[in-house]
């Protein structure tokens, strides 16, 4: 038993309240080392009457470690606990301070979850688990009101550049809501809609006004109301890490220098403001002079931005915020941001843009979720690039699941491309088989899937600006078969609660393998997904408990023989099977 690999700590993703009555415990061990693990738990004030051994299950693994998990529903919402580790006939007890061969005589030196205080429970909005998001880049989605066009507007459908305009606006979104409803979308994430000088609007000039090329606050209100009538939630982009160069306080600093009342609103290293050898004399997003970094630690800056966050929820009725460059803003600002937003709308969704392990932002005091780019990387590596095998993919997903508490994984924002990346079809070099298999995993995995506008009709494009093409509205130029496929994926996800909140378990993911099988289970709702990433037909033989199955894509019936489910899939084939109980 390799005790050096065993790890637990009483916080974060290792020991947390899943809800107001349930505590989840996790423990890490060397992969394949332990054969059984138990949590030894009870109430510290009634130890002898409440102590019990709770079996832990192997809930996920990565390349190096196994992760064991159990849940406890303590009568008085507090828990004292240790662990019993077993490797065949070898038994070791783990306390907070050491490992020992004998059961501890008392609970004093065990780990402790002192109390489930309701205010400390991390509770993301429940509706997000069931949502299907769609990302819209407003300038390129649809031109619904030509009277708002910029002076230099180009004909719709031209080649995008970093600087050109095609006249997309909010009215254009309103005009095409039928498209989203037909697809099955229940949430829209808009990149910025506030006044700015660029086509992407990440250089905010006025946080309290809709960009006049998009419409005005009344137009946005009509859009939000129209979405709500269709059961679609609306998420706006909050660019609070930085402003634009034309933001009034920054203009004041440019004009008045050290005499400006706003000089402390920004991180200025030297006056006058200028750019020397490509680097501004003030902190900015990625050295971009157009985007000076805001000093969110200053009380007046904090107050202004928090008023912005509150205003658009209260007055327009948006359902949450996506937070741009969220990891570069101080943590205390986001704590106050959460308090303000949740006070106005407790069900608002707070989504951070972070491209790496985001555990420090998912402790219940800042964000509800993050844009799940580690998920994106794993899916692309396996389904699109083929740089990892099935085992490597399972390890990547396992590591991701181990990092966060369950409630964070259930509402993670799972995307495969965006305005910041090449489009999925381009990454797949036009291979729609690979695109479909990647999307299948996205829609049958834990978390909230998001489609980047146009992916559902076969749009392609390299990285910025190629990924920001005008939406194609000519039906003759749309891939309607692909649209139908996405629509079917959404319908399948909506029909099975197990695909949204059920347990996740790999059934087959072998070394050097191209076959992937996994199970989602929630009570009697049991779904098994089989995916063949080879161009050659392959046969799956999966150990399952249930006897009768149905292929939800074809309606075919299947039956297990001697506890195994045998299914032959063609090259790049897949099957979604539901148990008939």
By annotation, the residues acting in catalysis are 324, 353
Mode of pairing for the β-strands spanning 369-370 and 79-87: unpaired
Question: Which H or E run includes 542?
Answer: strand 538-543
**CA separation for the pair 203, 221 (Å, rounded):** 23
Kindly report the three-state secondary structure assignment for every residue of 378-434: HHHHHHHHCCCCHHHHHHHHHHHHHHCCHHHHHCCEEECCCCCCCCHHHHCCCCHHH
Question: Which DSSP helix (H) or strand (E) runs through 539?
Answer: strand 538-543
Residue 11 backbone phi and psi in degrees, to 5: -170, -175
Question: Please, what's the b/e burial string for 270-291 (b: 16 or more CB within 10 A of its CB; e: otherwise)?
Answer: eeebeeeeeebebbbbeeebbb
126: part of which helix (H) or strand (E)?
A: none
Spatial contact of 135 and 453, defined as CB atoms under 8 Å apart: yes
How many Cα neighbours within 13 Å face the side chain of 203?
A: 17
- Residue 340 · residue 304 · CB < 8 Å: no
CA within 13 Å, CB half, 409: 21
Strand partners, 527: 520, 578
Q: What are phi and psi of 481, to 5 degrees?
A: -65, -40
Q: Evaluate whether 235 touches 190 at the Cβ level (below 8 Å).
A: yes
Q: Are 321 and 341 in contact (CB under 8 A)?
A: yes
Element (H, E) at 304: helix 299-311
Q: Transcribe 192-244 into DSSP letters.
A: P-EEESSSS--SEEEEEEE-TTT--HHHHHHHHHHHHHTT-EEEEEE--SB--
3-class secondary structure for 59-85? EEECCCEEEEEEEECCCCCCEEEEEEE
Three-state DSSP class for 89? coil
User: Which tokens is 166 given?
Assistant: 């095609």
Residue with tokens 């949502």: 131
Residue 249 to residues 243, 287, 302, Cα–Cα distance (Å): 10, 19, 14
Residue with tokens 């982009």: 237
Quick check: 76 and 39 in contact, CB under 8 A? no
Residues 6 or more apart whose Cβ sits within 8 Å of residue 238: 308, 309, 321, 322, 323, 324
**Count of other CB atoms within 10 angstroms of residue 72:** 17
Neighbours of 559 (CB within 10 A): 11
Give the Cα separation of 277 and 573 in Å (integer).
54
């Amino acid at each position: 038993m390799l005790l050096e690999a065993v790890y637990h700590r009483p916080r974060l993703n290792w020991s947390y309240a899943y809800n107001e009555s349930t505590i989840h415990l996790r423990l890490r061990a060397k992969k394949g080392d332990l054969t059984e693990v138990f949590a030894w738990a009870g109430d510290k004030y009634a130890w002898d009457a409440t102590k019990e051994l709770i079996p832990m299950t192997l809930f996920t693994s990565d390349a190096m470690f196994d992760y064991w998990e159990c849940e406890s529903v303590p009568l008085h919402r507090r828990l004292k606990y240790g662990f019993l580790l077993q490797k065949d006939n070898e038994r070791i007890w783990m306390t907070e301070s050491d490992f020992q061969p004998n059961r501890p005589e008392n609970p004093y030196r065990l780990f402790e979850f002192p109390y489930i205080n309701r205010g400390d429970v991390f509770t993301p909005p429940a509706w997000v688990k069931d949502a299907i998001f769609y990302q819209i880049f407003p300038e390129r989605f649809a031109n619904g009101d030509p009277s708002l066009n910029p002076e230099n507007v180009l004909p719709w459908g031209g080649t995008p550049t970093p600087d050109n305009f095609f006249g997309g606006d909010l009215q254009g979104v309103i005009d095409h809501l039928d498209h989203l409803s037909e697809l099955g979308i229940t949430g829209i994430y808009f990149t910025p809609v506030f006044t700015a000088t660029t086509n992407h609007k990440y250089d905010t000039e006025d946080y309290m006004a809709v960009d006049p090329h998009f419409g005005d606050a009344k137009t946005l209100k009509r859009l939000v109301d129209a979405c709500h009538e269709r059961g679609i939630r609306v998420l706006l982009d909050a660019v609070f890490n930085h402003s634009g160069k034309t933001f009034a306080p920054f203009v004041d600093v440019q004009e008045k220098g050290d005499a400006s009342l706003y000089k402390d609103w920004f991180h200025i290293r030297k006056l006058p403001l200028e750019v020397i050898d490509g680097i501004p004399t003030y902190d900015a997003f990625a050295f971009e002079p157009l985007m000076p970094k805001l000093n969110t630690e200053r009380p007046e800056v904090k107050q202004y931005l928090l008023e912005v966050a509150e205003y658009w929820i209260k007055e327009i009725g948006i359902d949450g915020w996506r937070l741009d460059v969220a990891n570069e803003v101080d943590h205390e600002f986001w704590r106050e941001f959460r308090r303000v937003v949740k006070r106005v709308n407790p069900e608002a969704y707070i989504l951070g843009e972070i491209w790496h392990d985001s555990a420090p932002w998912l402790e219940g005091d800042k964000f509800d979720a993050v844009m799940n780019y580690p998920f994106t990387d794993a899916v692309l590596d396996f389904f699109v690039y083929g740089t990892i095998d099935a085992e490597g993919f399972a390890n990547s997903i396992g590591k991701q699941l181990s990092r966060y508490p369950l409630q964070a994984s259930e509402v993670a924002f799972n995307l495969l491309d965006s305005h910041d990346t090449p489009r999925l079809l381009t990454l797949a070099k036009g291979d729609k088989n690979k695109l479909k298999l990647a999307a299948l995993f996205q829609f049958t995995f834990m978390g909230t899937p998001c489609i980047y506008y146009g992916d559902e009709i076969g749009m392609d494009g390299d990285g910025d600006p190629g990924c920001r093409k005008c939406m194609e509205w000519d039906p003759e130029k749309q891939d309607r078969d692909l649209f139908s496929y996405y629509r079917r994926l959404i319908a399948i996800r909506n029909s099975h609660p197990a695909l949204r909140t059920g347990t996740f378990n790999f059934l087959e993911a072998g070394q050097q393998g191209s076959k992937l099988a996994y199970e989602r289970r929630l009570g009697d709702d049991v779904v098994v997904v089989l995916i063949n990433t080879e161009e050659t037909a392959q046969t799956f033989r999966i150990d399952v408990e249930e006897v009768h199955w149905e292929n939800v894509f074809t309606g075919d019936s299947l039956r297990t023989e001697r506890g195994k489910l045998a299914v032959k899939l063609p090259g790049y084939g897949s099957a979604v099977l539901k148990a008939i109980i």
